[in-house]
Amino acid sequence: MGARNTYQILVFLSCILLFGLMSTTSLEVVIDEAKETLERICPGVVSCAYIIAFAARDASYFLGRISYEIPSGRLDGRVSIAYEVLKSLPAASHNLTVVKALFAAQGLSAEDVVALSGAHSIGLSQCSSFTTRLYPTIDPTMDQGFGSFLRTKCPQNANDDGVVPQDFVTPKKLDNQYYHNVADLKGLFFSDWSLMTSGETVNLLNDFRTKPELFEAKFGESMVKMGNIGGTQGEIRKTCRATHLSLPSSLSLNHLSVVLIDYQMGARNTYQILVFLSCILLFGALSTTSLEVGYYRKCKTCFQAEQLVKAVVHKYVAMDPGVGAGLIRMFFHDCFVRGCDASVLLDSSPLNPNPEKLSPTNNPSLRGFEVIDEAKATLERVCPGVVSCADIIAFAARDASYFLGRISYEIPSGRLDGRVSNADEVLKSLPAAFHNLTVVKALFAAQGLSAEDVVALSGAHSIGFSHCSSFTSRLYPTIDPTMDQGFGSFLRTKCPQNANDDGVVPQDFVTPKKLDSQYYQNVADLKGLFFSDWSLLTSGETVNLVNAFRTTPKLFEAKFAESMVKMGNIGGTQGEIRKTCRAVNY
């Protein structure tokens, strides 16, 4: 589905409520002209989504004589949101694990990944999509002669962003040459090379490289399969660049903006939308707020809210410092998905069977839920219905930072608890241990956070434990050359290959129970557990920050605190005060 703002979402909902019009059943110029032609012949019959699918099929034939039939009958959506693009589409900088996960989220397989990657045999790419593989040194996963050649096409610090063919051998033909390029380490993108990192995809790559007709057949199959994703709800647009219904002037915006934002970010079906909408219209259940330091100190019955949370956190961290690490991680995982709204705390329910906490990223590794439960229960006894679960998470992470590292800071409060929690959104939103710096920075930037925030908040890897599965791809079959080889050999003793259980190790073996700057020394010594840790050394800006935090502990502490406060300002201003942190109010 798709609208840019609350106004367009209101249009969509008004259609459902009033008319039931939604059915369930410079390339833009090409689509525009095709649409205009069809509208002259049979107006209001052929959707723009249908035209895109036909155009892609026809382009495949004209460029590569790849022929296939594609099902039709798609409808045009009414919602289009820019921030969903980064979370949903594979990027040139993604590794195979990320690419496969994004494809799997759409019901597509590893075979589809390899087959559809063959489209990189045609078209042009901007230099900025791959220059991180050329400078300051040529990526060792790229043929060095090819990298030197690309440097002549894409000079460092050029005034404009040049373009080059994605395939220099047969640049105007959709064929299997791409797979030869990848095998020869002459693919432009890191994602191209990543196809060489799995036995399954290597086998497919070699099959497509040696059997052109197999590639053509599988490419056609995967295009059809991709074309079956969604497209069954919407309208037939009159023009492909805009939806064609207007908002009835009698429909008020006063009570709808909050619920519509929630719809935009996740309501599953018309029934839920209507139920939730009726609640807002009748009771005004959701509200908005702004954040401020000492928010609860103004409340006569709840002025000690922060101290009560701190006491609970101290009790648990004193028993197990790992719980403190879990609380810091919980704050991070909450804020990066839907903002700091305690959506990570919601349990599965009949209306929401797959919340964030059930995502493989969170389950079973995320810790500290019992701390939040006890803090909430304590506060509900003293001042019921006043302190949000989202604020409790923020306070708990702040207090854990103090007890583990004597890092002290004030954090604004006044957050509200969200009503939507979707496990499918977690992988798209959170940086992962296997991400490179480009991906991590992009995910932080999507939340309004900087490269400095990336480096500062990565310091939380100085505390807590990690499952072996988060980094064993760096140990087997050979130790990653970006890891100290002695450290890698040591980790192999802790995380043996093909072990029956997924072991855990400290994220920092030097000061495992202290939140401090030792992490940055570990990174500089190539003794970080994760690929994302090492990736901080791949940019001059982040290397300088690593060295600054490594040599000046007080600077790290100050910047860590600043970044925690900054992260705490992501969202969390719309919702409710839950009665219990594990369920929304009904």
The binding site consists of: 334, 337, 339, 341, 343, 356, 431, 461, 508, 511, 516
Neighbours of 285 (CB within 10 A): 17
Distance CA(134)–CA(142), nearest Å, equals 9
Distances in whole angstroms, Cα of residue 14 to Cα of each of 19, 243, 247, 263: 8, 14, 7, 13
**Exposed / middle / buried, residue 410 (Cβ in 10 Å: 0-12, 13-18, 19+):** exposed
Q: Decide if 361 contacts 333 (C-beta within 8 A).
A: yes
For residue 242, give the 3-state DSSP assignment.
strand
Closest CA to 335 of 412, 406, 277, 256: 412
Verify whether residue 467 is a known catalytic residue: no
Cα(134)–Cα(16) distance, integer angstroms: 52
Environment class of 465 (CB within 10 Å of its CB; exposed 0-12, middle 13-18, buried 19+): middle
> Which of the following is catalytic: 120, 180, 333, 435?
333
The stretches of 184-341 forming alpha helices (DSSP H) are 190-193, 199-210, 212-227, 257-264, 270-283, 305-319, 321-335
User: Is the CB of residue 377 less than 8 Å from the CB of residue 291?
Assistant: no
Residues in binding site for heme b = 461
| Amino acid, res. 17 | L
How far is Cα 175 from Cα 35, in angstroms, rounded to an integer? 29
Helix (H) or strand (E) holding 126, with range, is strand 124-126
Instruction: Check residue 347 and report its DSSP letter.
Output: P
Catalytic site residues? 333
